[in-house]
Structure 1
Amino acid sequence: MSGLSLVFDTPQLAQDYELRSADRQFRHGKRLIAELGVRAGDHVLDVGSGTGLLAEHVAGLVGLTGKVLGIDPLPLRVEIAQQKAKANLSFQVGNAYALDGLPSGSFDVVYLNAVFHWLPEKTEPLRQIHRLLKPGGRIGLTTGAKDHPNRLQAIKREVLSREPYASYPESRDGTPHWVTAVELAGLLGGAGFTVQKIEAQENVHHQPDGRAAIAFSQASSFGNFLGHLPESLRSQAIEDIQRELEAFRTPEGIRLEGKRLFAIAHKPASH
C-alpha cells in the first residue's frame, strides 16, 4: 500500500480485477471468513477491500445489526465497491498505514485477504489493527508464502534478469513482500496477537494461456507486474514470459502453483 506505485491502475484493470478475482481471491477469502467465525452483529474491517466482493459477502453474514467497512488505496476500485454499499456496508479510500482515524476497540474482526504481501513495512499496520480490535477480537489474513513462490513470479524474475530488461531494475516497493510462516508468526506475536493457526496451503490454479496468466497478475497488482519497464519494452517482456510459461502447459491450461499462507490470530481478552 504505502510506497507502492498506485498510478498504474486504470479503469480497465479495476474492472478486470472485479471479474478475475471472483474465482480466486474471493473464493479463498470466503474460507478465511468462515474460519474467522464472522457472525451476525459483528463489526468488521476489510483492509485492502479492492472492488468489494468479499466485503459484500461479509455484510450478508453480519446482517443489519453488524457493520462492514472496506478500505483500499485505489480510488478506481473503491468506485466499483461503492456500488455495492448498503446500510451495513461502506467503503472509503484508505490504507493500512493510516488507520489512526478509526477508534480503538471498535471492531470484532479485521482481515487482509491477498493484501499482506503489498505492505512493505508490516509491524505498524499490525499494531494498529491490534488497537482497533476489541479484546478477544480476531485477525485473519491470506498471503503468498515467500519460500514457495508462484511459478509465474519465478519465471518473471528470470526473464527480467536478462537484457534489455535488467537495465530497468524493478522497484522493491512495487513488488510483493512475501513472508514465511515463521516470519508471519513472529510479526503477529510481536504485535500482541495470540496465533491460532498458520498453514501453508497448496495454491494451484490454471490459466488458459500465458496472456491470461499475465492479465490476472496485472489486475491483481494494479499494474505493477511490469509497470517499471518503459512502455516500449512491455509487449516484448510479455511475449518472453508467455514463451517460458508454455513449458508448463497441461490439458487443463497453464498450471501455476505455489503456496498460500492462511493465518488466524486473536487479541487476548482483558483480564
Structure 2
Amino acid sequence: MKKIALFLAFLFFYTCTECRLYCQPKSYTFDSLQLAAEYDRLSDPQFNQGRELVSLLKIKRADRVLDIGCGTGRLAAYVAGITGKEGKVIGIDPSPFRIAIARRREKSNLLFKVAGTEELSLFEDNSFDVVYLNSVFHWIADRAQAMVEIYRILKPGGKLGIAMGAKHQDSLLVSILRQSAQSVLGYIPKEFDVNEYQREADEALELSRESGFKIKEIKTRHYVDLFRSGEECIRFYEASSGGSLLREFPDFQRKKILSQIEERLERLKTAKGIEIPHNILFLIDEKPK
C-alpha cells in the first residue's frame, strides 16, 4: 500500500509538479507523451509557486542553476530568462516524456537531461550557484544522499531552494479522497491516515542542518488553485502523477473511486470554478562560504 501513501502525499503537496521526481522507476510506468503534454498545459499551480521560489532565491544574471525534477521545463525556461546568455540552466527529470517536451524549450543557456537525484554524480563539485526543487522533495527516495550531493555540487555561498507542502494543511482534498474510498471500498485504508506532509517538512529542515547548510529563510504561503471542473482537476492529478494515480487498486475500483472524487469536486463548484486550498513551505538554504 506504499503507493497509496505516496498519492496521499501528492494531494497534500500538490505534486507533481512543474518539477517532480519519481521515487522509483515504476512510479512513472504509466507516463506517456500525452500525459506530459497535458501536464504542461495544466501546470500553472506549480509554475506560479515556482516563480515565488525563484524570487526568494534571488537568482541573478550569469548564475549557473540546476532544476531538479524539472518536468516539462516551464520553470527552467523562466529561470533561463533571468540568468541570460551569460548563465546556464540545466533541468533534470527521470521521465523521458517530460524531458521530450522540455527539450523543445532548449536554447544556448538552457539544457535538459533525463536523470534523477541518483545521477547527481554527473556534476562536478562546486559547479552551481543555485539548485532548487519545486514540489519535488517528497518524491525522492534517498533524501539524505540527495541533500549531501546537492551540497557538494553547490559553490560556497550557493543556495538551495525547496518548495513543498507545509506542516499545516487544509484537508479538503484528503477528506474527499477518504470519503470516496469509503464509498467504493467500504473502508478507509489505514495509509490514508499517514501524516506525510508534516513528516516530510520536518525531514527537509533536519537534513538541511545535517548536510551542512545554513537555513536562511523559511516562509509559508497559502494558495488557492482554481479548476473549471472536477474532470479538469482529476486530469491535472493524473498528468501530475505520471499516470500512476490510484494504480494500486484494480482498474474497476480505481475508476469508481476517481468517479466519486470527481462528483464530490463538482459539488464544490461556484461561479468561479472549483477552489482547492493548500499551503506551501518555502525553504532557502545556503552553503557556507
TM-score, normalised relative to structure 1: 0.89
How big is the shift at 1:121?
Answer: 3.3
The equivalent of 1:178 in structure 2 is 197
- Match 1:13 to one of 15, 25, 35: 35
Q: Distance in 1 between matches of 2:69 and 2:277?
A: 24
**Residue 2 of structure 1, CA deviation:** 3.2
Unpaired runs of 5+ in structure 2? 1-21
Alignment of 1:223-242 (within 5 A): 223-242=243-262
Question: Following superposition of structure 1 onto structure 2, how do residues 1-271 of structure 1 map, counting pairs within 5 Å?
Answer: 1-3=22-24, 5-21=27-43, 23-148=44-169, 151-161=172-182, 163-164=184-185, 178-179=197-198, 181-269=201-289
Cα distance, 1:221 vs structure 2: 1.4
What is the Cα deviation at residue 42 of structure 1?
Answer: 0.7
Q: 39-48 vs 255-264, which deviates more?
A: 255-264
Q: Deviations over 1:144-176 (max 9, x none)?
A: 2244156224422442355538699989xxx99
Contact 1:170/1:228 (CA < 8 Å) preserved in 2?
no
Distance in 1 separating the partners of 2:186 and 2:38? 26
Q: Tell me if structure 2 keeps the 8 A contact 1:117–1:179.
A: no
Deviations 1:23-59 (A, max 9, x none): 2111111121121111111110000000011111111
Distance in 1 (CA, whole Å) between partners of 2:136 and 2:171 is 15
In the alignment, the residues of structure 2 paired with residue 264 and residue 75 of structure 1 have an alpha-carbon distance, to the nearest angstrom, of: 29
Q: Work out the number of aligned pairs and report it.
A: 265
Tell whether the 8 Å contact from 1:148 to 1:259 is kept in structure 2 after alignment.
yes
Give percent identity, aligned residues only.
38
TM norm structure 2: 0.84
Asked if the contact 1:193–1:266 (Cα under 8 Å) also holds between the matched residues in 2, the reply is yes
1:72 Cα shift? Answer: 0.1
What letter is aligned with 1:237? Answer: I
